[in-house]
Each structure stands twice: as structure tokens, then as C-alpha cells.
């Protein structure tokens, strides 16, 4: 479907004493990929919040295949899985600079109205940008 790729260089502070990326940092890599995917279609999170829309993560699954290490240049491929409704779902693949698949992941986020704090349908201006 709609895929965007983002490069991220692994920083020293994201690793343990063996130079391996700490597993908790992968959530940040997914967020970076997701935000850049949105920006690539012209949607900016700051504007969403100004329109009283937020997107909290409600589900996240990661499968670790091989370790990312200090200094790696990671490519995060972020793919929209289907047309959003009250939620939006993404699949991810993270590869190192050698092209090795390191991690696969999935996230589901809910559209939430910041005024009411209740779920809401995906705003039309986002659907208009998706072209799906």
C-alpha cells in the first residue's frame, strides 16, 4: 500500500554496554517512521493537535530478528495497512545498511478528540491526502 522509508543512525546512548540497541528504543524508531510517513503525505502532527486530534498508540507488536548496533544506519519502512476509520494501522520493517532485516513491527493508533477525550473518526482532511 502506501510505504515511506526513513533513515536513522543508531546513537551511542541508544545501546547497552555491548553496543546493541536497547529494545525499548524501537518504539521511538517506529514513531519517527510514522511521523515522517505522515509528513510525506502533507500531514503534520502539530497541526493535528491544533485541530484537537491526537493519535495514541493502542497496540504495538515487535519481532526482533537480529540486533541493531551502534553506528548502524537503519532504514525504517512504514506502511499503511488499510484505509483509516477510528484507528490507523501500520506495519514496519527495519533493515540495517547491509539490507539485513532486523525487526518487523505493527502499531495501531486511535484517533481521539482532545476536547472530549473520546475516539473519533479519521478526519476527512487526512483521508483526502491518502488517495486510497
Span 71-104, pLDDT tens digits: 999 999 999 999 999 999 999 999 999 999 999 9
Domain regions of the chain by residue span: 2-130
pTM as predicted:
0.93
Query: What pLDDT band is residue 129 in, cutting at 50, 70 and 90?
Result: confident
CATH topology of domain 2-130: Thiol Ester Dehydrase; Chain A (3.10.129)
Task: Please pick, among 7, 16, 39, 49, the residue that the annotation labels catalytic.
Answer: 16
To the query of whether residue 72 is one of the catalytic residues in this protein, the response is: no
Q: Is the pLDDT of residue 130 over 90?
A: no
CA torsion 51→56→62→66, rounded to 10°?
A: 60
Among the listed residues 92, 63, 61, 59, the one whose alpha carbon sits nearest the alpha carbon of residue 78: 92
**What does the block give as the cell for 87?**
484507528
What integer pLDDT is reported at residue 52 of this predicted model? Answer: 96
Amino acid at each position: 500500500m502506501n510505504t515511506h522509508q526513513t533513515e536513522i543512525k543508531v546513537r551511542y546512548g541508544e545501546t547497552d554496554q555491548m553496543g546493541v540497541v536497547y529494545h525499548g528504543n524501537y518504539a521511538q524508531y517506529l514513531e519517527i517512521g510514522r511521523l515522517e510517513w505522515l509528513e510525506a503525505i502533507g500531514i503534520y502532527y502539530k497541526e493535528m493537535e491544533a485541530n484537537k486530534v491526537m493519535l495514541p498508540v493502542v497496540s504495538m507488536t515487535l519481532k526482533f530478528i537480529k540486533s541493531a548496533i551502534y553506528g548502524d544506519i537503519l532504514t525504517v519502512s512504514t506502511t499503511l495497512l488499510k484505509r483509516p476509520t477510528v484507528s490507523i494501522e501500520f506495519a514496519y520493517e527495519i533493515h540495517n545498511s547491509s539490507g539485513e532485516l532486523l525487526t518487523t513491527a505493527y502499531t495501531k493508533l486511535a484517533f481521539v478528540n482532545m476536547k472530549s477525550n473520546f475516539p473519533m473518526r479519521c478526519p476527512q482532511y487526512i483521508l483526502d491526502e491518502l488517495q486510497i
